[in-house]
Structure 1
């Protein structure tokens, strides 16, 4: 069902919802470049002011998936994506990237969808490059990496070519839009399980409900109340969980897992080199704060990836993978395997 631009803007002004089919059509037109930059800008700002609904976000994610270059992995039910919306302004090192090696060492199959840093000093793609990983792989090579190493990294620009039509509009607007929360909802491998960090507490409940509509299996959406799109050490962390079709919301604390509370000041970085070093330190069991926050987030990933029966068991398995060296070995294995495909 199509909808006119005038009707879209009218509904935004009047804070009325754009229905699923209408939003799917509208987003498809925007991604396809069928709307002028001026109209796209007006719509994106209007949606932001109105506040996007769960159904609007769901329809937009489905439209973006339609235009994505897919990675057809068998047994998507076993896959976990672990990424964040970014934009939290915390300037911490790439915690979820470090945590994926720990989770993979514990047996979770990772299909991580990531990009370069926009508001941060280092995105997951930046730090993986710094660590020597080849991030520009074809879908068949990503599938092979997952099968052989338990990890696949999907560099967003290679899978979201259609976003080129809207990227300049987003850049010129310069404020957050619906696209800031769509990235983690459009995993090219359609991973059924997910650990997603969000930049605002309201998104904890919103994103987990969107992922339920997108037919995800086991999901944890998290917001560290210290102001992080990760589980935090210096505060409680809000959690939205989808499991067996049921959504629950609760908070966790570092002390629940025998992890001391500390500020994130010690894990802030100013460039990707510093981020890479903290990843190495955490995987080598050297830096206390870095190691602890990686283990906490990896524990959540292990639980979301259905390799633990509880978060507590997941955190225990994460510390074990760090201490026995298997997490560090997983990084080396993944790095070496991706370089087989270097041009």
Structure 2
């Protein structure tokens, strides 16, 4: 929940090589089941807008276009939006783009992901049809957490929080990771419902498999270091 560091920053802090070619990312996905596409390396058009976006310092159309122009052309995905009005719009754009199963989500306190602090608006595309609804942590037998406990100021704090969550340490970080990972498991077809996906995510964390896979991914990416 910090603008001070993003996923790329945290992965680099963990030792991952994020400057991979599309072919190398493909190998990660094929052999590890996990890949990371660093936008400047894979979004040949969007990268030219990055300096301008940083200088403006406000949200622009590119905040909407970026996720919708996924260079991997993934048919199943979970995307977050920064405004409630965009939930229905985004999921219907995904429908027109030919997505198979997708979720567009907005956490009521302003999160572009599923919230552990209250209601999350969801737009779901499945079997060619769109449905809009809301979910709440209590539906998944989870407590409501104060969102302030997820705020971090540095990359190292983000890294520590991520590792703690993957090691199964109870708390807001673990719960929000499981909720959002569960959504991805659901749209991938490995779970019959969002609730089942969340349950599976908690199981993978509890067994240590999630942390082990992260370590495996980091080590695999290092093979491509120059």
Q: Structure 1 length as normaliser, TM-score?
A: 0.64
Deviations 1:148-200 (A, max 9, x none): 00011111101223335444444454432211111111211111111011111
Residue 145 of structure 1 corresponds to which residue in structure 2? 28
> Is residue 326 from structure 1 mapped to residue 209 from structure 2 by the alignment?
yes
> Is residue 246 from structure 1 mapped to residue 129 from structure 2 by the alignment?
yes
C-alpha distance 209-284 of structure 1, shift in aligned 2 (>3 A): same
Residue 197 of structure 2 corresponds to which residue in structure 1? 314
Partner of residue 274 from structure 1, selected from 146, 149, 157: 157
Aligned counterparts of 1:164 and 1:190: Cα–Cα separation in 2: 18
Structure 1 unaligned residues grouped into runs of 5+: 1-89, 92-119
User: In angstroms, what is the RMSD of aligned CA positions?
Assistant: 1.3
Question: Residues 46 and 66 of structure 2 are in contact (CA less than 8 Å); yes or no, is this contact kept in structure 1?
Answer: no
Question: Residues 278 and 287 of structure 1 are in contact (CA less than 8 Å); yes or no, is this contact kept in structure 2?
Answer: no
The count of residues paired between Structure 1 and Structure 2 equals 226
In our comparison, the structure showing a higher alpha carbon Rg is: 1
What's the CA shift for 1:207? 0.7
SS of the counterpart of 2:25? helix
Question: Residues 136 and 155 of structure 1 are in contact (CA less than 8 Å); yes or no, is this contact kept in structure 2?
Answer: yes
C-alpha distance 268-168 of structure 1, shift in aligned 2 (>3 A): closer
> Is residue 304 from structure 1 mapped to residue 190 from structure 2 by the alignment?
no
Residue 294 of structure 1 corresponds to which residue in structure 2? 177
> Is residue 182 from structure 1 mapped to residue 74 from structure 2 by the alignment?
no
Aligned counterparts of 2:182 and 2:50: Cα–Cα separation in 1: 35
Residue 67 of structure 1 corresponds to which residue in structure 2? none
Residue 76 of structure 2 corresponds to which residue in structure 1? 193
SS of the counterpart of 1:189? coil
Structure 2 unaligned residues grouped into runs of 5+: none
Deviations 1:69-104 (A, max 9, x none): xxxxxxxxxxxxxxxxxxxxx42xxxxxxxxxxxxx
1:220-235 → structure 2 map (5 Å cutoff): 220-235=103-118
Aligned counterparts of 1:161 and 1:338: Cα–Cα separation in 2: 21
Question: Residues 198 and 221 of structure 1 are in contact (CA less than 8 Å); yes or no, is this contact kept in structure 2?
Answer: yes
Q: Structure 2 length as normaliser, TM-score?
A: 0.95
Residue 154 of structure 1 corresponds to which residue in structure 2? 37
Aligned counterparts of 1:163 and 1:297: Cα–Cα separation in 2: 26
Question: Residues 107 and 120 of structure 2 are in contact (CA less than 8 Å); yes or no, is this contact kept in structure 1?
Answer: yes
Residue 134 of structure 1 corresponds to which residue in structure 2? 17
Residue 340 of structure 1 corresponds to which residue in structure 2? 223
SS of the counterpart of 1:277? helix
